[in-house]
Structure 1
Amino acid sequence: MYTVHEVAKLAHTTVKTLHYYHKVGLLIPEQTTDAGYRLYGKKDLERLQQILFYKELDFSLKEIKKLLDSDIDREKTLIQQKNLLEQKVERFKGLIKTINSSIKNTKEEVDLDMETMFKGFETENDWEEALKNQNEYLKKEYDFDLLNQTTDVESMNDSAIEAQSFNEDMIKFLQEGTSPNDSKVQDRVKEHLSFLEKKDHPSTPQDFLNQTEFFIADEFHRNMFEQQQVGYIYFLNKVAASYLIAHSSIKD
């Protein structure tokens, strides 16, 4: 067991903060002695780690409590964090490779060969196979068939490229601690919704917010987003809410 002072030192936080977390029911010590001393166990420390993690992602304490009280799988969360770090390593490797190529071409005064940045699926069958699991889930849970229409491969490739680019940009904003209200974030959403509008997809600010709320409520899609980055879909929901408020203010 750990005293409140020991926990504060371990977690690089303050005793006052831990007292407040106890007061609001966010982190309740495993034991409180007759003399009023708080004693924390291993599970308490694990919960505190998650609290501090989500706090870094700019979630309110109310939102964090809701998240942590919803039976989070700690092992799965740690695995997702590990996967994220591994992805970062791979991205850095790719950047180093690109830099080396640029240095080499600059020395040789040769223009850099610009290859396609994103490669989409080549055929309709490829797309049907890629969407198979998601489509089966949607048909079972919502009686909705993603593939109940002619597949426009070129259009789907364009949409996949934009979706990947948008998610990567949003995840980067999240990792850098950028506020959902930041103009850079809001401008990227505007660009993304403009793309969706041209593709005749739901593209209003309210459509965007509704979509993020569905992704949070639906376990299949929530896990799909959280595998990319822990906390991502919740961040995206806050971005969508901020965008809707800003859009409404402009209209008013």
Structure 2
Amino acid sequence: MLYTVKEVARLSGTTIKTLYHYQKIGLLLPQEITQNGYRYYGDKELEKLQQILFYKELDFSLEKIKVSLESEPNRLMILYEQQKLLEARQKKLTNILQTINKTIEYERNGKSMNKKNMFTGLNKEEWTVIFKDQNKHLENKYNIELNTDEINTNEMNKKAAEATKFMDFMANSLKNNLSPNDDKIMEAIKNHINFLKNDIEIDKDGFVAQSRFFLSDEFHREMLENIQTGLSYFICIAAEHYASL
């Protein structure tokens, strides 16, 4: 089956201009170009476009994407590699979210956070780069500045597993159409809050406040939505139900 440029753009969520650009640089060529200039794409081209978009989600440059696709022509091997990279990014975002949770609670309670507890799952250089954007956002919008001069990742890495487990469970529950009021979700939130209590003062209402903040703040909402579309709203609804019990 062949698809027009317009159909491919609609299916993939890209633009016609983007597809023309990919053709121009030799990244994605149509299967067929008619004498009157109409471009048609086949299933192989759609598969390649899918791989290109996966790489773009990983912030690969178009040049790097082209090299990657040319160096590994096996589609399944490319998908396995992209799966690993995307899972690593998801874990990294989850770890960052866990740290933000604690940071907000400390700021909300007017307390200073132990610098050893400020970083999770990343080495010093990676955290420095990532916190640059977060710090800029918090400072510009909320007049909050995080001191990231002293970085110790060991303690925070121990907490990353719990945060990843919780977010993965919530994301999978949403994907599987589980109700936010489900008993399993209530139990997961209970366990998550109990875990957070090891480091910060937080209760049901405090977790609701966190969830509402992440839903309303574009920076943190995007972090959750990158894990699973609708996750920020799903967690907020679940948290509110848990607090009402």
Q: TM-score, normalised by structure 1?
A: 0.48
**TM-score under structure 2 length normalisation:** 0.49
Find the structure with the greater CA-based Rg.
1
